[in-house]
């Protein structure tokens, strides 16, 4: 009964001018836990989102987080005449977008996947009794290979609401276009992950459908362990983690402008130099730095990478070296005469175009590979790598990142471990949403 009363108040807020002026939602964002997976080729991160209602309960699916994809896609089939019992058991059926509808043309002509393995879009796919469907290309974020999906309607994402400190029992739903791919498309994915959720700047990505009454702000806090959960917020702060639940994480943030790249819906910033122990490695002008939730480690174009390796080798020459283990080029021996040695190395600072710096401390620069070997978690991208710098997820872990889409700025905290907290410290205990 209480849930129905809350729902009635929310509905009245949107249909009545009187309520519209007075109603302020008790939540400031939606919130979902983030899970780290290590059972694929590279570490990946997913969110669990409710996607349909069946037998008086929400059914959830696990989606990889992709801040570059133009739209979301998952394991489902399109079916134009959906009625009870028409959909195969344990299969999600959704309505197709026709090749003649504007959404089909717009998606095909506005998203900039330039992948050599992708064939041209065609209208060759049909459904009996319906006509042509809308095949669109999708790129597997794990293998980078191209596949085909069918654009659909009647798809929804439902997430819990939050005041930044608690997760409420209230539900917020959005209805974006998405696309269906066959179950066989997920062989490279982690177990039980059957979709990709797009958090890019594309008008068909999920943020475009989450704006009322939420503000356009995406926050990511990736966990460093598979046994604990990180947190994703969409909406304004505050954002609070235990044990300092009174501290708004925004107080830890520095900001830099988000840059637009002509061939991507992803997020880019301007790095002007990489500083290691007071010496700067200049990054060529007009160089883009991409932020990625798919690439596992920061990748540098060869000229930049070689300079970083030379400098880092010089400032860590007292640490016994180890034979490099792919894909890394600089590794260290963490055992000395049979004794484990704690590895503490100088910070690496990304100096940004507006004078701010993003500090990469030891927790985000050194990757433990074996009991005896740890490596600098930066990778050589090759001489023609474009973008020249891609900051990967290992550098994101236990950092709080805020993509302010209204003001086109990027906020970053550097390691929360230095603040005696981590991305795994959000309180996901479900609490009752207050009535306004």
Which regions of the chain are under pLDDT 70? 1-23, 56, 111-117, 154, 336-342, 436
Phi and psi, residue 394, nearest 5°:
-60, -35
Q: What is the pLDDT of residue 194?
A: 95
**Do 388 and 300 contact (CB within 8 A), yes or no?**
yes
Q: What is the pLDDT of residue 52?
A: 77
Q: Quick: pLDDT tens for 37-64.
A: 999 999 999 999 988 777 767 888 999 9
Q: What is the pLDDT of residue 208?
A: 92
Q: What is the pLDDT of residue 245?
A: 86
Look up residue 283 and give its two tokens.
């990054």
CATH entry 3.40.640.10 includes domain 2-97+149-239 = no
Q: What is the pLDDT of residue 115?
A: 59
Q: Which of 158, 179, 188 is nearest to 70 (CA)?
A: 179
Provide the H-helix boundaries in 233-351: 302-315
Residue intervals in the chain for CATH 2.40.70.10: 2-97+149-239, 249-419
Q: What is the pLDDT of residue 14?
A: 43
Q: What is the pLDDT of residue 286?
A: 87
Q: Give the 3-state secondary structure of residue 14.
A: helix
What are the start-end ranges of the E strands in 79-229? 93-94, 126-127, 131-132, 135-139, 146-152, 157-162, 167-174, 178-181, 195-198, 217-221
Q: What is the pLDDT of residue 314?
A: 97
Q: What is the pLDDT of residue 8?
A: 43
Q: What is the pLDDT of residue 162?
A: 96
Q: What is the pLDDT of residue 120?
A: 77
Q: What is the pLDDT of residue 16?
A: 42
Torsion of the alpha carbons at 185, 190, 195 and 201, rounded to the nearest 10: -110
Q: Classify 249-419 by CATH class.
A: mainly beta
What pTM did the predictor assign? 0.90
Q: What is the pLDDT of residue 21?
A: 47
């Amino acid at each position: 009964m209480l849930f129905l009363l809350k729902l009635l108040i929310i509905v009245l807020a949107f249909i009545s001018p009187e309520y519209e002026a007075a109603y302020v939602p008790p939540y400031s964002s939606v919130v979902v836990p983030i899970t780290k997976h290590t059972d694929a080729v590279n570490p990946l991160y997913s969110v669990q989102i409710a996607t349909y209602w069946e037998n008086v309960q929400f059914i959830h699916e696990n989606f990889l987080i992709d801040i570059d994809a133009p739209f979301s896609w998952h394991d489902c089939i399109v079916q134009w005449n959906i009625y009870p019992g028409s959909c195969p058991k344990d299969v999600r059926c959704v309505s197709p977008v026709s090749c003649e509808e504007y959404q089909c043309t717009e998606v095909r002509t506005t998203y900039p996947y330039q992948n050599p393995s992708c064939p041209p879009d065609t209208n060759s796919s049909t459904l009996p009794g319906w006509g042509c469907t809308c095949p669109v290309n999708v790129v597997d974020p794990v293998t980078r290979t191209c596949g085909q999906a069918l654009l659909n309607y009647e798809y929804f994402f439902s997430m819990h609401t939050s005041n930044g400190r608690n997760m409420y029992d209230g539900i917020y739903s959005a209805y974006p276009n998405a696309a269906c791919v066959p179950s066989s498309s997920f062989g490279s994915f982690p177990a039980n992950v059957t979709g990709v959720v797009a958090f890019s700047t594309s008008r068909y990505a999920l943020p475009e459908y989450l704006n009322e009454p939420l503000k356009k702000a995406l926050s990511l806090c990736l966990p460093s362990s598979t046994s604990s959960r990180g947190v994703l917020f969409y909406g304004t702060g505050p954002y609070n983690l235990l044990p300092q639940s009174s501290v708004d994480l925004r107080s830890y943030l520095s900001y830099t402008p988000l840059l637009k790249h002509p061939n991507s819906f992803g997020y880019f910033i301007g790095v002007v130099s990489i500083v290691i122990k007071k010496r700067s490695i200049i990054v060529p002008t007009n160089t883009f730095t991409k932020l990625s939730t798919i690439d596992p480690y920061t990748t540098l174009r060869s000229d930049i990478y070689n300079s970083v390796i030379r400098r880092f080798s010089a400032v860590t020459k007292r640490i016994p070296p180890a034979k490099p283990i792919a894909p890394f080029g600089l590794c260290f021996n963490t055992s000395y005469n049979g004794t484990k040695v704690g590895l503490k190395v100088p910070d690496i600072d990304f100096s940004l175009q507006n004078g701010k710096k993003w500090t990469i401390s030891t927790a985000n620069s050194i990757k433990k590979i074996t009991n005896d070997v740890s490596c600098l978690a930066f990778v050589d991208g090759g001489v023609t790598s474009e973008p020249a710098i891609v900051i990967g997820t290992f550098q994101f872990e236990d950092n709080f990142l805020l993509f302010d889409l209204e003001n086109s700025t990027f906020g970053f905290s550097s390691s929360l471990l230095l603040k005696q907290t981590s991305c795994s410290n959000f309180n996901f205990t479900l609490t009752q949403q207050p009535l306004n």
